[in-house]
Structure 1
Amino acid sequence: MAALPENRLLLTGKVVSLTGRIESRLAECGAVGTGLREKTDSLGSKLSPEVVKLLAYIGSIRNRFAHEPEAEISGEEFALFEESVRMVQQELDILWPVSRSHRPAASASSPLPEEEFDESPYRGTEPDSDWLILAGRLPVLHLAYAVHLFWRAVTPGIRLLGLLVGEVLGILLIAFGIWKGEPYVTGFGSALFLMVHGFGIWEAHRDPARSLPTFLYMTPGLNLFYFLLRLLPLLNWMMLFESFAIIMVWVAAIVMAARGEITIAGGLAFLSYIGGVVATYVRR
């Protein structure tokens, strides 16, 4: 475990110095902005979700010492902070190799931007706004909240999801056009398929890690697996489960009502509503 500096000024200086070193390294990688948050956001999907979480944690510790006169930190937490800095530097060195002799040294006296770092990526999910919470606690409107949960769950991988859906749609249109003998449908499906394939290659080249084999995204059809393998880690599966459960139970209630099973339909509708209310407290 790393030893805590006994002098508080030295401790603050070390936190700021290590954070400044990360900010300088991000700038070398092409990041822009005046603080750690802006630099992180400017690199977008070039950084893995794990690195973004580590940067959020580093920023939270840095802001604690920059803005709280009586800030404290345990030995375990300081060790985690130093390890986070090391892991981020290691990951950046892999993504953007740079000679150490050309790296500017970060100074403990670097100016501290007066901004609060967004720590929500480290905590998992940010709280919903008051009006969304209210919607989730009202009957029927809780379905809008479920849709909101679904959107939040897929947003980190929305481009990949769009490419996946677009290519599947293109394949279905091609198959349908051939089956029905409709050349225009086949042509439209082929154009959509090729367009998505091209965008898929572009998306793959935006991923500096290139952790998956090249042939996966270069080969038409196989790139579906590339989209899927990159998409799955980005989804918030708990939110997906919550949103699907709320909506599907409500759909089941509608089906039961259409069959004349009013009591069962009412019970399912109430269950769906309770699910929405519970979700608002979980996300609060």
Structure 2
Amino acid sequence: MKNKSKKWLLALLLSCSVVVLATGCDKLKKEPETESETQTEKVTEPPTEKVTEPPTEKVTEPPTEKVTETEPQTQPKELTVEEEKAQETEFDTFRTGYASDDVNVRTAPGSDGDIFDSFDQGETLRLVGETPNWYVVDLDDYEENGYVSKQFVSDTEVAPKTEEEREQLANGTAPSSANDGNTTASADNGTSVPPSTAGTSAVDTEYGVEVYAESFPIQATVGANMRQAPTQNGEIINMIASGTNVTAIGYTDRWYKVEYEGTVGYVNRNLFTAE
């Protein structure tokens, strides 16, 4: 009897346990699942636009031009006639130059060359060759070429000397000499000499020689020929050494009429100077 009561009680407890378990499971099914923690909405700030400054243009200063001082122009290097001739070249075609001053034409490219002609300032030169310091010029009146210093030849046209300038040269109020790099000598003095007794000749009439009212001394800056007429073709009647004084008694645009050692003749004005 006692065992039956125990069995019955045990069965009752077991039944109650089953009911409780069944009820609990049903409740779990009906109740919504809740998160243990409330999910917080993740607030993210909108992405900020990355502001980049526009690339700044690289400003570079323009390269400064390198200024080089030019050395002052120096006188051409003096060479001997042999050295000049050794470097002489002939142009393929002739070139035109202009006398920038009255300039001598010499037989050789050097101040020792004999003077046999000259060009007045502004005259055109026909250049056919060159050496380092001289041009070779073609002359219509001569078979051989001559040489003129490059210092007195211009590539552009040059105005000739005015009649007034020529008059001043003729009257001794301005220096007169053809240029070829030599130093011009001056007359020993500026005193006048008595007028020449040589009157106007047929040559003077032919070549338009003017007679000075009063004669005056002039001096040869280089060796010069004294001719019978004021032209390169005139017969040579005397030789006048450099530094010699003669008496000027008349003139043309390119020649002096002079008296020397009792003889009247004509000399190239570019080869003489007067005070």
Report TM bin, short chain.
under 0.3
Structure with the bigger RCO (C-alpha within 8 Å, sep 6+) is: 1
TM-score (ref. length: structure 2): 0.20
Task: Tell which structure's C-alpha radius of gyration is larger.
Answer: 2
TM-score (ref. length: structure 1): 0.19
Richer in strand (by share): 2
